[in-house]
């Protein structure tokens, strides 16, 4: 009997393609995308970050020029909804639909209206010269800063706050790339007028905050 001849030319590429596909599937499983991760974190009855704005924003809201406010990575809305209660027209962007749904619930509770859009900030194109205030709180994506600056109108203000290197005292495993460097916000906004700046350690968390005005 003549043995069956297996044409080996197709066999090797097919095996490589199969192994490659398995590796890709494995990588996706090992690192779930931001959307799934944040949707599941926010899938609680309580507000993960609370309903109150950050103290820095609350203390300094009176300095901000009234008008359109963009809240980048709005989450459950504590900061953007607060600005809406202060008379701002607030638009929030976030990848988490669950977070933004809670932001709308918070707005209803406070009797204000907000707008939201589900977007991936890693590929977003922000409208230029469009906002009086741009907030970016506890979301550090460094390549977004040029767009944040461009999105402001002349005289508009950026409000940015997130963890600085001292935060590692309280959370040693927090990924280094998501921590600001010392004075990094001052460097990023060196062509803006610095209205307020602080590097703060409250004994539980350490973070830096800035309000910077576009010339
Ligand atoms: C630490 S939370 C901060 C939320 C809010 N700024 C606050 O201070 O309460 C980070 C937020 O970034 C959002 N996020 C993470 N990756 C994102 C992405 N690629 N595009 C849009 N939003 C993203 C998450 O859904 C989450 O709401």
In the chain, domain spans: 55-213
pLDDT at 113: 98
pLDDT at 6: 40
- Best probe residue, ligand 1, of 94, 121, 161 (max atoms within 8 Å of C-beta): 94
How far the first Cα of the chain sits from its last, in Å, is: 87
Q: What is the pLDDT of residues 51-82, one digit of tens each?
A: 999 999 999 999 999 999 999 999 999 999 99
Classified as helix, coil or strand, 180 is coil
- Best probe residue, ligand 1, of 37, 78, 95, 175 (max atoms within 8 Å of C-beta): 95
- Best probe residue, ligand 1, of 48, 73, 118 (max atoms within 8 Å of C-beta): 73
Q: Whose CA is nearest to atom 27 of ligand 1?
A: 75
Hey, how many other C-beta atoms are within 10 angstroms of the C-beta on 34?
A: 15
Ligand 1 atom nearest to CA at 35: 25
Q: What is the DSSP letter of 80?
A: H
- How far lies 162's CA from each of 43, 87, 165, 188, in Å? 23, 25, 10, 14
User: What's the rounded Cα separation, in Å, for the pair 212 and 195?
Assistant: 5
Tokens representing residue 78 in the block: 């504590």
Mean pLDDT, rounded, of the chain: 89
Provide CATH code, domain 55-213.
3.40.50.150
User: What's the rounded Cα separation, in Å, for the pair 105 and 46?
Assistant: 12
76 class by beta-carbon count within 10 Å (0-12 exposed, 13-18 middle, 19+ buried): buried
pLDDT at 19: 40
Q: What is the DSSP letter of 64?
A: S
Backbone angles phi, psi at 69, to 5 degrees: -120, 130
Return the percentage of the chain with pLDDT > 90, whole number: 84
Classified as helix, coil or strand, 170 is coil
pTM reported for the whole predicted model: 0.87
pLDDT at 33: 82
User: What's the rounded Cα separation, in Å, for the pair 80 and 106?
Assistant: 10
| Residues of the chain below pLDDT 50 | 1-11, 13-32
211 class by beta-carbon count within 10 Å (0-12 exposed, 13-18 middle, 19+ buried): buried
- What's the sign of the alpha-carbon dihedral 90, 206, 48, 60? negative
Assess whether the C-beta atom of 116 lies below 6 angstroms from ligand 1. no
User: What's the rounded Cα separation, in Å, for the pair 81 and 110?
Assistant: 8
For ligand 1, the distance from its centroid to the CA atom of residue 191, given in whole angstroms, is 26
User: What's the rounded Cα separation, in Å, for the pair 92 and 106?
Assistant: 13
31-40 long-range Cβ contacts below 8 angstroms, 24+ apart: 34/95, 34/96, 34/120, 35/95, 35/96, 35/97, 35/120, 38/75, 38/94, 38/95, 38/96, 38/98, 38/99, 39/96, 39/97, 39/98, 39/99
């Amino acid at each position: 009997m003549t043995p069956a001849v297996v044409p080996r030319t197709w066999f090797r590429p097919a095996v490589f393609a199969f192994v490659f596909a398995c590796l890709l599937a494995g990588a996706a499983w090992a690192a779930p995308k931001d959307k799934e991760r944040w949707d599941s974190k926010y899938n609680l009855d309580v507000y993960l970050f609370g309903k109150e704005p950050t103290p820095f924003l609350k203390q300094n809201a009176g300095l901000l020029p009234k008008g359109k406010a963009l809240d980048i990575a709005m989450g459950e809305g504590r900061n953007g909804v607060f600005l809406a209660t202060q008379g701002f027209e607030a638009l929030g962007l976030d990848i988490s639909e669950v977070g933004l749904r809670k932001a709308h619930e918070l707005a209803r509770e406070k009797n204000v209206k907000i707008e939201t859009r589900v977007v991936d900030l890693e590929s977003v194109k922000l409208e230029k010269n469009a906002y009086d205030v741009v907030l970016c709180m506890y979301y550090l994506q460094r390549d977004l800063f040029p767009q944040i600056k461009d999105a402001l109108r002349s005289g508009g203000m950026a409000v940015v706050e997130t963890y600085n290197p001292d935060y590692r005292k309280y959370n040693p495993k927090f990924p280094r790339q998501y921590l600001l460097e010392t004075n990094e916000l001052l460097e990023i906004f060196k062509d803006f007028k610095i209205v307020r700046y602080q590097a703060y350690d409250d004994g539980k968390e350490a973070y830096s905050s800035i309000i910077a005005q576009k010339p």
